[in-house]
Amino acid sequence: MATAAKTPPGTDPKQLERTGTVREIGSQAVWSLSSCKPGFGVDQLRDDNLETYWQSDGSQPHLVNIQFRRKTTVKMLCIYADYKSDESYTPSKISVRVGNNFHNLQEIRQLEMVEPSGWIHIPLLDLVNNPIRTFMIQIAVLANHQNGRDTHMRQIKVYTPVEESSIGKFPRCTTVDFMMYRTIR
Protein backbone atom coordinates (compact mmCIF):
# COMPACT_ATOMS: atom_id res chain seq x y z
CA MET A 1 0.00 0.00 0.00
CA ALA A 2 1.41 3.38 -1.00
CA THR A 3 1.55 6.12 1.62
CA ALA A 4 -0.63 9.12 0.94
CA ALA A 5 1.13 12.34 0.00
CA LYS A 6 1.24 15.02 2.66
CA THR A 7 -1.23 17.88 2.23
CA PRO A 8 0.78 20.77 0.73
CA PRO A 9 0.52 24.15 2.48
CA GLY A 10 -1.22 27.04 0.71
CA THR A 11 0.02 30.60 0.61
CA ASP A 12 -0.41 32.90 3.57
CA PRO A 13 -3.92 34.42 3.31
CA LYS A 14 -2.53 37.88 4.15
CA GLN A 15 -0.76 37.79 0.77
CA LEU A 16 -4.12 37.18 -0.92
CA GLU A 17 -5.59 40.17 0.93
CA ARG A 18 -2.73 42.39 -0.26
CA THR A 19 -3.64 41.64 -3.88
CA GLY A 20 -6.98 43.36 -3.30
CA THR A 21 -9.06 40.46 -4.67
CA VAL A 22 -10.40 39.20 -1.30
CA ARG A 23 -10.99 40.51 2.21
CA GLU A 24 -11.38 38.74 5.54
CA ILE A 25 -14.92 38.92 6.97
CA GLY A 26 -14.68 36.68 10.04
CA SER A 27 -15.08 39.69 12.34
CA GLN A 28 -18.58 40.28 10.91
CA ALA A 29 -19.77 36.85 12.09
CA VAL A 30 -20.81 35.32 15.39
CA TRP A 31 -18.60 32.33 16.19
CA SER A 32 -19.50 29.36 18.39
CA LEU A 33 -17.91 26.00 19.16
CA SER A 34 -19.33 22.59 20.06
CA SER A 35 -16.91 22.46 23.03
CA CYS A 36 -13.61 23.86 24.22
CA LYS A 37 -11.10 23.56 27.03
CA PRO A 38 -10.99 26.68 29.23
CA GLY A 39 -8.60 29.22 27.69
CA PHE A 40 -8.62 27.50 24.27
CA GLY A 41 -11.75 28.86 22.56
CA VAL A 42 -12.88 31.27 19.84
CA ASP A 43 -10.55 34.05 21.01
CA GLN A 44 -7.51 31.84 20.34
CA LEU A 45 -8.94 30.66 17.01
CA ARG A 46 -9.26 34.27 15.79
CA ASP A 47 -6.27 36.06 17.39
CA ASP A 48 -3.91 35.97 14.34
CA ASN A 49 -1.36 34.05 16.41
CA LEU A 50 -0.23 30.73 14.92
CA GLU A 51 1.04 29.58 18.34
CA THR A 52 -2.43 29.61 19.96
CA TYR A 53 -5.31 27.25 19.12
CA TRP A 54 -8.83 26.09 19.86
CA GLN A 55 -8.90 22.74 21.64
CA SER A 56 -12.12 20.77 21.67
CA ASP A 57 -13.29 18.97 24.80
CA GLY A 58 -15.91 16.39 23.93
CA SER A 59 -16.99 13.74 21.48
CA GLN A 60 -16.69 13.99 17.71
CA PRO A 61 -17.70 15.61 15.48
CA HIS A 62 -16.14 18.84 16.76
CA LEU A 63 -17.95 21.85 15.32
CA VAL A 64 -17.07 25.46 14.52
CA ASN A 65 -20.17 27.52 13.67
CA ILE A 66 -19.83 30.83 11.82
CA GLN A 67 -23.09 32.81 11.58
CA PHE A 68 -23.57 36.05 9.64
CA ARG A 69 -26.28 38.63 10.36
CA ARG A 70 -27.18 38.83 6.66
CA LYS A 71 -26.70 36.57 3.67
CA THR A 72 -23.02 36.89 2.83
CA THR A 73 -20.90 36.02 -0.18
CA VAL A 74 -18.06 33.71 0.82
CA LYS A 75 -15.31 32.70 -1.60
CA MET A 76 -12.90 30.73 0.58
CA LEU A 77 -12.05 29.41 4.04
CA CYS A 78 -8.43 29.19 5.19
CA ILE A 79 -7.53 26.90 8.08
CA TYR A 80 -4.08 26.74 9.67
CA ALA A 81 -3.01 23.29 10.82
CA ASP A 82 0.36 22.09 12.10
CA TYR A 83 0.84 18.33 12.35
CA LYS A 84 4.37 18.63 13.81
CA SER A 85 3.08 20.60 16.80
CA ASP A 86 -0.32 18.98 17.28
CA GLU A 87 0.17 15.34 16.16
CA SER A 88 -2.94 13.32 17.12
CA TYR A 89 -4.90 16.55 17.72
CA THR A 90 -4.54 17.50 14.02
CA PRO A 91 -7.72 17.09 11.95
CA SER A 92 -7.51 14.51 9.17
CA LYS A 93 -11.09 14.73 7.84
CA ILE A 94 -13.14 17.97 7.72
CA SER A 95 -16.65 18.63 6.42
CA VAL A 96 -17.78 22.14 5.42
CA ARG A 97 -21.51 22.77 5.55
CA VAL A 98 -23.51 25.87 4.64
CA GLY A 99 -27.12 26.97 5.05
CA ASN A 100 -29.53 29.49 6.55
CA ASN A 101 -29.42 27.99 10.07
CA PHE A 102 -28.55 24.82 12.00
CA HIS A 103 -31.61 23.00 10.62
CA ASN A 104 -30.86 23.14 6.90
CA LEU A 105 -27.08 22.81 6.62
CA GLN A 106 -25.83 21.06 3.49
CA GLU A 107 -22.35 19.63 3.08
CA ILE A 108 -20.57 21.30 0.17
CA ARG A 109 -16.99 20.12 0.77
CA GLN A 110 -15.31 17.22 2.49
CA LEU A 111 -11.56 17.35 2.84
CA GLU A 112 -9.05 14.67 3.82
CA MET A 113 -5.70 15.97 5.03
CA VAL A 114 -2.46 14.06 5.52
CA GLU A 115 -0.08 15.60 8.06
CA PRO A 116 -0.92 19.21 7.10
CA SER A 117 1.54 21.93 8.00
CA GLY A 118 0.47 25.44 7.03
CA TRP A 119 -2.57 27.12 5.53
CA ILE A 120 -5.22 24.96 3.90
CA HIS A 121 -7.34 26.84 1.35
CA ILE A 122 -10.91 25.58 0.93
CA PRO A 123 -12.75 27.25 -1.97
CA LEU A 124 -16.50 27.62 -1.36
CA LEU A 125 -17.96 27.71 -4.85
CA ASP A 126 -21.32 26.72 -6.31
CA LEU A 127 -21.81 24.45 -9.34
CA VAL A 128 -20.89 27.22 -11.81
CA ASN A 129 -17.79 28.30 -9.83
CA ASN A 130 -19.32 31.41 -8.25
CA PRO A 131 -18.71 32.15 -4.56
CA ILE A 132 -21.53 30.88 -2.35
CA ARG A 133 -24.02 33.11 -0.53
CA THR A 134 -24.95 31.94 2.95
CA PHE A 135 -26.02 32.91 6.45
CA MET A 136 -24.05 30.15 8.16
CA ILE A 137 -20.93 28.03 7.73
CA GLN A 138 -20.21 24.98 9.87
CA ILE A 139 -16.82 23.29 9.92
CA ALA A 140 -17.03 19.76 11.31
CA VAL A 141 -13.92 17.82 12.32
CA LEU A 142 -14.90 14.23 11.57
CA ALA A 143 -11.57 12.54 12.35
CA ASN A 144 -8.09 13.30 13.65
CA HIS A 145 -4.70 11.84 12.85
CA GLN A 146 -3.77 8.71 14.84
CA ASN A 147 -7.45 8.40 15.89
CA GLY A 148 -7.08 11.35 18.27
CA ARG A 149 -10.16 12.30 20.32
CA ASP A 150 -9.92 16.09 20.73
CA THR A 151 -8.76 18.49 18.03
CA HIS A 152 -6.62 21.59 17.66
CA MET A 153 -7.30 24.32 15.10
CA ARG A 154 -4.86 27.19 15.12
CA GLN A 155 -6.58 29.78 12.89
CA ILE A 156 -9.62 30.06 10.63
CA LYS A 157 -10.10 32.89 8.14
CA VAL A 158 -13.22 33.58 6.03
CA TYR A 159 -12.86 35.47 2.75
CA THR A 160 -15.25 37.32 0.45
CA PRO A 161 -14.36 38.53 -3.04
CA VAL A 162 -13.80 42.27 -3.47
CA GLU A 163 -16.43 43.53 -5.89
CA GLU A 164 -15.69 45.82 -8.79
CA SER A 165 -17.01 49.36 -8.38
CA SER A 166 -20.45 50.02 -9.88
CA ILE A 167 -19.27 53.51 -10.94
CA GLY A 168 -16.55 52.20 -13.18
CA LYS A 169 -13.40 50.17 -13.12
CA PHE A 170 -10.78 51.71 -10.90
CA PRO A 171 -7.31 50.25 -10.56
CA ARG A 172 -6.90 48.05 -7.51
CA CYS A 173 -4.97 49.71 -4.71
CA THR A 174 -2.48 47.21 -3.44
CA THR A 175 -0.06 49.18 -1.31
CA VAL A 176 -0.78 49.67 2.37
CA ASP A 177 -0.84 53.48 1.95
CA PHE A 178 -3.62 53.33 -0.66
CA MET A 179 -5.76 50.52 0.83
CA MET A 180 -7.78 53.05 2.86
CA TYR A 181 -8.73 55.00 -0.30
CA ARG A 182 -10.04 52.11 -2.38
CA THR A 183 -13.70 52.58 -1.35
CA ILE A 184 -15.68 55.67 -2.30
CA ARG A 185 -18.35 56.51 0.26
What are the tens digits of pLDDT across the range 128-166? 999 999 999 999 999 999 999 999 999 999 999 997 544
> What is the pTM (predicted TM-score) of this model?
0.84
In the prediction, which pLDDT does 121 show? 94
In the prediction, which pLDDT does 150 show? 95
In the prediction, which pLDDT does 11 show? 80
Which distant-in-sequence residues (6+ apart) come within 8 Å of 54 by Cβ? 33, 36, 40, 41, 42, 44, 45, 64, 151, 152, 153, 154
Q: What is the per-residue burial (b if ≥16 Cβ within 10 Å, else e) of 134-144?
A: bbbbbbbbbeb
Domains of the chain listed by start with CATH number: 13-181 (2.60.120.260)
Share of the chain above pLDDT 90, in %: 75
What are the tens digits of pLDDT across the range 25-65? 999 999 999 999 999 999 999 999 999 999 999 999 999 99
